[in-house]
Chain A
Amino acid sequence: MTARGEARLWLAQRAAGILLALAVAVHLATILYAVHRGLSAAAILARTRGNAAWLAFYLVFAAAAALHGGIGLRTVIREATAWRDRSLDLATAAFIVLATLAGWRAAAALFA
């Protein structure tokens, strides 16, 4: 990959990392809240269904996690194996898209 491409991936992973730092904190706080209050699945769904703010939060969270993890996975594979050519970049892109879609599907299930 070109220097520009590598630098963009690095920036994207850092930016996604910053988003994740915030999103994971909110996510953990939400879990603690739900457990302490003893909320049932139905009670949780009652709060998230039709709530555009929670939908937006989890769409961003899922995309950031997929991007951060995908780029990191590419780095690990490049370091640990001999797989370093263009096919790895394509596989990384496919992984990021699939992981994002899977996350969005879960977010949509909370919303609708």
Chain B
Amino acid sequence: MRDQLLRVSVWRGADEGRLVAYEVPARPSQTVLDVVTYIQRRLDPSLAYRFACRVGMCGSCAMTVNGIARWTCRTHVERVAKNSAIEIRPLANLQVIRDLVTDMTPFFEKWRRAEGRFVPATTPARDFAKVPPASRERRAADAGIECIGCGVCYASCDVVAWDPDYLGPAALNRAWTLVNDVRDGGNSDRLRAVAGDAGCHACHSHQSCALRCPKALDPTASIAGLKRVAARATLRGEL
């Protein structure tokens, strides 16, 4: 294994650019992030990429590996390399700043547009909110709460590719966790935000988000939940 070389093609440039070939020694249990780090530290210090925690918590190292968006710190080379070759590109559906670094601003801006922040209910709390973990709402919120904001779902979504205004799986999943937060008081604004032109109704349920999510979340199910809640609100004249 030690003498084997990986043939690695890495995107260099911005939206316009080219693939550059590198040779990287193969190592046991090597991750794709290890490969990128090796290139930057040993072969070409000008390579730009983003990472922080290296253990699958921060959501900053997502890239396109052999055509599929993945978290690179938890992706083992031996699982994705084809004939000892890997192609690494920046995430799709986002503008490239340089090399493997994309501008995540629109991605997080859509979380804001989807009212993805907690809004305290207007009545001041007199005590800690008691939320039974087994309640239906809490279980629905728990199912989507572990999102690390890596953008893999957003880069894998066909609807985002077709309609750049579409809020996308992560922002809608975030909205769904808040819709199910019994302490939250912002649901009427939130429903109006997520049921608009580029909101939950635009989802085709292709489920690429659920397939690719490194945390095994199911944003498609969250979006279906938003559709149900929006439909009920419409029938009651509350939307």
Q: Could you list which residues of chain A lie within 8 angstroms of chain B, going by C-beta atoms?
A: 1-4, 6-11, 14, 75, 78-80, 84
The yes or no answer to B17 lying at the interface (CB within 8 A) is no
Q: What's the count of A-B pairs with C-beta under 8 Å?
A: 48
Task: Flag if B195 contacts A79 (CB, 8 Å).
Answer: no
Contact of B239 among A4, A78, A79 (CB under 8 A): A4
The yes or no answer to B196 lying at the interface (CB within 8 A) is yes
Q: How far is the CA of A78 from the CA of B201 in the complex (A)?
A: 13
Chain B interface bracket (under 10, 10 to 19, 20 to 34, 35 or more):
20 to 34
Q: Could you list which residues of chain B lie within 8 angstroms of chain A, going by C-beta atoms?
A: 159, 162-163, 191-197, 199, 201-202, 227, 230-231, 233-235, 239
Task: Flag if B195 contacts A6 (CB, 8 Å).
Answer: yes
25 contacts between A and B (CB under 8 A): A1-B196, A1-B197, A2-B192, A2-B196, A3-B191, A3-B193, A3-B239, A4-B239, A6-B195, A6-B199, A6-B201, A7-B195, A7-B201, A7-B230, A7-B233, A7-B239, A9-B201, A10-B201, A10-B227, A11-B234, A11-B235, A14-B231, A78-B163, A80-B162, A84-B197
Residues of A within 8 A of B231 (CB): 7, 10-11, 14
Q: How far is the CA of A14 from the CA of B191 in the complex (A)?
A: 19
Task: Flag if A3 contacts B162 (CB, 8 Å).
Answer: no
